[in-house]
Structure 1
Amino acid sequence: MLTSVPPLQVPEYQRLRIVITGGAGFIGSHLCDRLLADGHSVLCFDDLSTGRMDNLAACLPHPRFSFVRHDVAEEFDCEGPVAAVAHLACPASPQDYLHRPIETLRTGSLGTLNALSLAKRKGARLLYASTSESYGDPEIHPQPEGYWGHVNPVGPRAVYDESKRFGEAAAAAYRRKHGVSTGIVRIFNTYGPRMRAQDGRVVPAFITRALVDEALLLHGDGAQTRSFCHVDDLVEGLVSMLECDHAGPINLGNPEEVTMLELASLVQELTGSRAGMTRGPALEDDPSRRMPDITLAGTALAWRPTISLAEGLARTIAWFTNCQQLSGTAGRDPEVAAPGAH
C-alpha cells in the first residue's frame, strides 16, 4: 500500500516502485511528480505520440525516476519488483484520437492487456484510467457508476469510448480469472497546467484565444454541459485508488456542472478578454450533458475535489501565460475544439 508522506519520512524499505504508462502525458506527468514527492520510485513508459518530455522536466534528474520510450501496444516488461501499475496510456483528446483511430484502439486493447499481464506477473495492483466517455451521451444525469451508458459504437468517438469500455472489461476479467488487484476509475473532464494548446479540448482552446483577445469558438448553442476537475484534485483521487483495493469503477470528477457558454464567459472574465464569441456547427456525438455522481468516491476513497473552477482556471491561465507553448499557437483553432474527454 502506498504511503503519502514527505519523502524524508519514508524509510527505504517502505518505498514502492510504481510503473506508469503514459507518464509523459498531461495527467501521467502530474502523477509521476506526486509519487516521487511521496518518496516512491517511478518507471515511466511512453511512446511520446501525445506525451512530451517537457512534462517530465522535474522528474528526469530524479534518482528514483526512470523513463523508457515504448509503445505499450507492444509487449513490455521490467526487472525487479513492482508494487503497482498505473495504466494511463491512451490518446485522450479528440484531436488525438480522431487523427489516430487505429493507434487508439490498439492502445486501449493490446496496451491494456499488456499492462494487466505485467501486473499479474509482478503481483502488482493495476490502476486503470477509464473515462466518463464510457457513459456516452448519457440518458441519466448525473452519471452514477451503475449506469451502463449510451454509446454509439460506430461513430467517430467510438475508437476512444469503446476501447476504454474494453479496458474496463479486461480489468474486471483479470481480477476474476487471475486474482489481479485491479481498480477502475472513470475520469471526467480534467484540466490544468501541461495541457497542449491545440489538443482539441475546450479549456486550452478557450484560454489560448482569450489571451490574444480573439473570439472564443462555441460549437452548437453552447448549452452542452461539462464538469471540470483540476488535475491536482484528480491526482489525489488516483493516489487514493492506488492505496486501496477497491475494484471500481469509481467516478473521479468535479460535480460542478457548467455550460460551454458559462465556461467561455468565465475564461473571458479571468483573462480580461473583450473579443466576444463566435458560433460553429455542433460536433458529431457530442454529449449534451456530463456530470459525475461522486458519492462512491466520497465513501470508498474519502475523496472530493476542493479546487473551484475559477481558482483552477486562474492557475491554468497563469501557466499558459508563462509557458513557451503559447507562442505561435494561440488564435489557430484545431479541427476539433470540443469539451473533450479526460
Structure 2
Amino acid sequence: MGSGTGASDAKPMTSWSTLGKRKGRESMKTAIITGAAGFMGSHLVDKLVENDYFVVAIDNLATGTWDNLKHHRDEHVKRLTWDITEYPPDDVLSIDQADVVVHLASAASPIHYRRLALETLRVNSIGTENALKLARKFQARFILGSTSEVYGDPQVSPQSETYWGHVNPNGERACYDEGKRYGEAIAMEYHRQFGLDLRILRFFNCYGPRMQSEDGRVVPNFVRQALEGKPLTVYGDGQQTRSFCYVSDEVEGIYQAIIRDGLSGEVFNIGNPEERTILNFAQAVAKVAGVPLYTEFRPLPADDPTNRCPNIDKAKKYLGWSPKVSLEEGLEKTFAYFKEQLGQ
C-alpha cells in the first residue's frame, strides 16, 4: 500500500464492529497486513499463508498492485482496497478477528514518496494510528514496519538501535524520514499507555522480485540498466555505502518478530550487515549480468545518506535471525524476475 489521501474531514476511527465468528478458520491465526499489495507486503503474505495464517490484505494501490497476490486463493487471503488514513468502509469494520497487525503501508522509494509527499506523511501518522487502533481493538500483536532512514545521514557506523539519528527535518526526504520517526513515536506511546504488544522493525535496503522497474532505488535502477545495455547511473562519487538484504531474509525477520513472545516495545534492525560502496555494488551487478561495467556519474541528491550498515546483534540474540542469501544469489533471482517483466 502506498499512502492515502488523508482528508482532513475524515472521521476518527474510534470503534470497530466484531461481527460474527471466524467460519472455517477456527484453527488458523489471522494476520492483517497494510501495504499488502506492495513489494515487501506481498512477500510477507506468501510467508504467512505458507505458515497457515488467514491474511486480511489491505492496500489503497497507490504504489502496489493486487497482481502481486493473484496466486492466492480467496480462502487464504481477503483483499480489501482501503486508504488507511480514511474512515474504514463496512468490509473493514466487519473484520471479526486479528492475532497480529503488520503495518507496512507507505511509499518507500524517493520517486514515490516525493510524488506522494503529503500522502506519505499522512500514512505514517494518521495511518499508523489507525493501524494501532485496529491492533488495540483485537488485542493483537502489532508490528511496525519502519526504516533505516530514521537514522538519516548517520554520524556513526554501523547503526545500532540505540542511535538517535541525524535527520534533516525540513529536507526533501523528511516526508519519509520524519514520517517514519513519528510512526515509531506514536507506536511507543500506544505501548506505554495501553500496554499494546508491539515490535518496531527498521528495514535496510530490501530488494528482490516484485520491485518496480521504475522504482528509482539503486537495485532496480542498476538491474534494469544492465539488462537494457545502458550505463549504470551512480550518484555522487559512488563511495557512499549501502547494505542490501534479499526479500526472503527480510520477511523471515518480520516473521520471527511476529511469532516470538516477550519482545513487546523492542526495536530491531533487520538488514544485511555486509556494507558495500555503490561502485562495488555496480561491479557486482555487472558481473551477475555478464556485461562490462559502464557507469554514468550524476550529482548526489540532497540529504542522501553517506553510509548504511546495520548492527544486527540484537536481532541475532532475540529473534534468532540473520540474513542467509548472498548478494550474488539474490541478484540472480532479481535479474530473472526483471527479465520476465521486461520481456527478455
TM-score in terms of structure 2 length: 0.89
Alpha-carbon separation, structure 1, partners of 2:120 and 2:40: 17
Q: Structure 1 residue 74 and structure 2 residue 90: aligned?
A: no
Give 2:15's aligned residue.
none
Give 1:8's aligned residue.
none
Match of 1:65 among 77, 80, 84: 77
In structure 1, stretches of 5+ residues that fail to align are: 1-10, 331-342
Q: Structure 1 residue 55 and structure 2 residue 77: aligned?
A: no
Percentage of identical aligned residues: 45
Give 2:57's aligned residue.
44
Give the AA of the match of 2:277: T
Give the AA of the match of 2:312: I
- What are the within-5 Å matches in structure 2 for residues 1-342 of structure 1? 13-59=26-72, 61-76=73-88, 77-245=93-261, 246=263, 247-274=265-292, 276-323=294-341, 326=342
**Structural RMSD (CA):** 1.4
Over 4 Å off, 4+ runs? none
Q: Deviations over 1:278-318 (max 9, x none)?
A: 11111110000000000000001000000011111111011
Secondary structure of the structure 1 residue equivalent to 2:125: helix
Alpha-carbon separation, structure 1, partners of 2:87 and 2:102: 16
Q: Quote the offset at 1:243 in angstroms.
A: 1.0
Paired positions, count? 315
Q: Deviations over 1:84-140 (max 9, x none)?
A: 100000000111001110000000000000000000111111100000000000011
Q: Deviations over 1:14-49 (max 9, x none)?
A: 410100000000000000011111111000110000
Q: Quote the offset at 1:62 in angstroms.
A: 3.9
Moved more, 254-263 or 314-323: 314-323
Give 1:6's aligned residue.
none
Give the AA of the match of 1:292: P
Alpha-carbon separation, structure 2, partners of 1:45 and 1:151: 30
TM-score in terms of structure 1 length: 0.90
In structure 2, stretches of 5+ residues that fail to align are: 1-23
Alpha-carbon separation, structure 1, partners of 2:311 and 2:249: 16
